[in-house]
Structure 1
């Protein structure tokens, strides 16, 4: 488990003025499309952080025991913590948490390549119907990992090898033939 990164103090009023100055500079640049895009970006970020903070307050008020457990299990809050390198769990723990949220796909971690960010998973069930169930598992894992472990940039799902075919050898009861 890594320790949360210490954040530097931020003056809210000063930050607000700086955002306004940047938006004003973009508006004065004569490119209305750039100014509109910047304003939309600021609105989107404000919505994202506002939703995250609202969720934090809700989870803290509803948590009877360990409020941190509720926060870490929430996709929105976890993604905010990871985004700012504040999540107290290490990468492997966060990957496990993400895969636990898609248990119906029964996935196990095979390997993680640090350099490429590729995660290789294997289904616990052998065989499969060949009807795209691997694609469904990959997409479910990808969506969960985006919140809990964004350092995973690619997901490969391998199908578990089929077990040996069992052959029953025995004698039929008398008179069964």
Structure 2
């Protein structure tokens, strides 16, 4: 893929807008111009954020030049959109899930249909459907930015976990024999 210059891209956009204008459909022209405007704002915001993040003192440690960029949702989404994100899918999923207000764990991912299954691991409040849905939605929103390969998030019910085993053992060792006298019992 050859690099597109700003001049070439600008010319191509103008040609497309001119073709639409020739057809005389004012609504289609206005819609196309809106699309161009929204995309320019989106990319402009992403580039401005990247420049700001890289320009901050201490924002880019020598050992991790990507840290500030990858932690930013807007920049990360632009990198993902163009297949430029340097992290693999499991790392990006973990990054997205680590920022959730409720701790969750992955119980499975099916790359064929893009479904990621999660389970809440910490206390999620009342356990009601609204709370569960807010956790699922927060995960879906974070993953849309960091791991667009995940197309749907399913949250296992809070009670789906195996119960913890209760270990029963002998009591503490006694160093002597304790005797209860009737006076001690009262």
Question: TM class by shorter-chain length?
Answer: 0.7 to 0.9
Q: Is the 8 A contact 2:77 2:146 kept in 1?
A: yes
Task: List gaps (5 residues or longer) in structure 2.
Answer: 172-179
Q: Is the 8 A contact 1:126 1:162 kept in 2?
A: no
Please state if 1:101 is matched with 2:99: yes
After superposition, the Cα gap between the structure-2 partners of 1:155 and 1:10, relative to the gap in structure 1 and judged at 3 Å, is same
Tell me the equivalent position of 1:11.
Answer: 5
Alignment partner of 1:13: what SS? helix
Q: Return the match for 1:20 from 14, 18, 23.
A: 14
Bigger Rg, which one: 2
Please state if 1:111 is matched with 2:108: yes
Distance 2:149 2:60 in 1: 32
After superposition, the Cα gap between the structure-2 partners of 1:64 and 1:154, relative to the gap in structure 1 and judged at 3 Å, is closer
TM-score normalised by length of structure 2 = 0.80
Distance 2:125 2:50 in 1: 40
Alignment partner of 2:19: what SS? helix
Please state if 1:71 is matched with 2:65: no
Shift of 1:19: 0.4
Higher RCO (C-alpha under 8 Å, 6+ residues apart): 1
Shift of 1:127: 8.4
Please state if 1:81 is matched with 2:79: yes
Query: CA deviation digits over 1:115-150, x for unaligned, max 9?
Result: 111100011137863322210110100110111011
Taking the TM superposition and a 5 Å limit, the aligned residue runs for 1:1-177 are 8-62=2-56, 63-65=59-61, 66-102=64-100, 104-125=101-122, 129-131=126-128, 132-158=130-156, 159=158, 160-161=160-161, 163-164=163-164
After superposition, the Cα gap between the structure-2 partners of 1:64 and 1:148, relative to the gap in structure 1 and judged at 3 Å, is closer
Query: CA deviation digits over 1:133-171, x for unaligned, max 9?
Result: 210110100110111011111000112526359699x9x
Alignment partner of 1:22: what SS? helix
TM-score normalised by length of structure 1 = 0.84
Task: List gaps (5 residues or longer) in structure 1.
Answer: 1-6
Paired residues in the alignment total 167
Q: CA RMSD in A?
A: 2.5
